[in-house]
Amino acid sequence: MKKRYLTILSVMAAVTMVSCQDDFLDKQPLDKLSEEAVFNSAALCESYVNALYNVLPDPFQEGNIGTISDEGFFRYGGSSTRYIADGSMTPSNVMYEEEGGQAHNTRTTTLNIWNRAYEWIYRMNYLLNYINENGTEMDDESRDRLVGEVYFLRAWAYYNLIQRYAGVPIITKTYGLDDEYNAKRDNFDDCVDFILKDLESAEKLLPEKENCVLGRINKDIVLALRCRVTMLAASPLFNDPENPTGSIFRGQYDFNGKWERAYKAAKAIVERADVDGAYSLDDTYDGFWKDVNSPELIWAKYFISNADPDVNSTKKAQLYYSVVYFNGWTSFNPTQAMMLDYEMTNGKKIFEPDSGYDPDHPFENRDPRFYYSCAAPFSKYCNTDNEGYHENELLLYLLYENTTIDDFAAGKTEPAWTSRGTHLWHATNTMGLELNKWYIPEKPITESEVGNVLYPWFRLGEMYLNLAECAYMLGYEDECRTYINKVRQRADVMMPEVTETGEALWDRVVNERRIELAFEFIRYFDLRRWKTAEFYENIPFAGMRTMILKNGAQADTVYRVVRPYDESRNNTCYYWTNSKERQDYITANGKDIECVITYKWLGKEYKVDYGDCCLTVSPTQKYFPKNGDVYPNYLMPIPANEMAKANGTLVQNPGY
Lowest mean pLDDT among 206-210, 313-317, 341-345: 313-317
We report the CATH number of the domain holding residue 247 as 1.25.40.390
Provide the pLDDT for residue 547. 87
Helix, strand, coil proportions of the chain in percent (round to 5)?
35, 15, 50
Provide the pLDDT for residue 292. 95
Q: Per mean pLDDT, which of 47-61, 148-162, 386-400 is the most reliable?
A: 148-162
More confident residue, 253 or 593: 253
Strands 591-594 and 388-393, sheet pairing: unpaired
Lowest mean pLDDT among 1-15, 18-32, 513-527: 18-32
Residue 555 within any structural domain of the chain: no
> Which stretches of 22-165 are assigned E, i.e. beta strand?
32-34, 72-73
pLDDT digits (tens, 9 = 90+) for 414-446: 665 555 555 665 667 788 888 889 888 887 666
pLDDT band of residue 412 (cuts 50, 70, 90) is confident
Provide the pLDDT for residue 327. 59
Separation between Cα atoms, residue 139 and residue 136, nearest integer Å: 8
Average pLDDT, integer, range 326-352: 90
pLDDT digits (tens, 9 = 90+) for 571-597: 788 888 766 678 888 887 778 889 999
Cβ-count burial of 23 within 10 angstroms (0-12 exposed, 13-18 middle, 19+ buried)? exposed
Helix (H, G, I), strand (E, B) or coil at 299: strand
CB atoms within 10 A of CB 223: 22
Residue 215 within any structural domain of the chain: yes
Residue 78 within any structural domain of the chain: no
Cα–Cα distances in angstroms (integers) from residue 372 to residues 64, 349, 530, 601, 623, in the given order: 19, 18, 27, 24, 29
CB atoms within 10 A of CB 353: 8
pLDDT digits (tens, 9 = 90+) for 445-477: 666 666 788 999 999 999 999 999 999 999 999
Separation between Cα atoms, residue 100 and residue 93, nearest integer Å: 9
Please check the confidence at residue 112 and state whether its pLDDT lies above 80.
Answer: yes
Percent of the chain with pLDDT over 90: 63
pLDDT band of residue 381 (cuts 50, 70, 90) is confident
Please check the confidence at residue 45 and state whether its pLDDT lies above 70.
Answer: yes
Residue 149 within any structural domain of the chain: yes
Please check the confidence at residue 494 and state whether its pLDDT lies above 80.
Answer: yes
Separation between Cα atoms, residue 357 and residue 359, nearest integer Å: 6
pLDDT digits (tens, 9 = 90+) for 290-317: 999 999 999 999 987 655 544 544 444 4
Cβ-count burial of 315 within 10 angstroms (0-12 exposed, 13-18 middle, 19+ buried)? middle
Residue 126 within any structural domain of the chain: yes
Helices and strands: H and E segment counts in the chain? 20, 18
pLDDT band of residue 490 (cuts 50, 70, 90) is very high
Q: Report the amino acid identity of residue 108.
A: T
Q: At what angle do helices 477-488 and 460-473 cross, to 10 degrees?
A: 160
Mean pLDDT of all residues in the chain? Answer: 87
pLDDT band of residue 5 (cuts 50, 70, 90) is very low
pLDDT digits (tens, 9 = 90+) for 506-533: 999 999 999 999 999 999 999 999 999 9
Please check the confidence at residue 568 and state whether its pLDDT lies above 60.
Answer: yes
Please check the confidence at residue 26 and state whether its pLDDT lies above 70.
Answer: no
Residue 174 within any structural domain of the chain: yes
Lowest mean pLDDT among 215-224, 284-293, 333-342, 612-621: 612-621
| String of DSSP letters for 54-77 | GGS--S-STT-GGGTTTSEE-TTG
How many structural domains is the chain composed of?
1
Q: Are 391 and 381 in contact (CB under 8 A)?
A: yes
Provide the pLDDT for residue 330. 73
Q: Report the amino acid identity of residue 311.
A: V
Helix (H, G, I), strand (E, B) or coil at 152: helix
Domain, as residue range, for 223: 5-55+111-268
Helix (H, G, I), strand (E, B) or coil at 615: coil
More confident residue, 317 or 360: 360
Average pLDDT, integer, range 125-153: 96
CB atoms within 10 A of CB 630: 14
Residue 31 within any structural domain of the chain: yes
Residue 251 within any structural domain of the chain: yes
Q: Are 184 and 171 in contact (CB under 8 A)?
A: no
Q: Residue 137: how many CA atoms within 13 Å on its side-chain side? A: 8
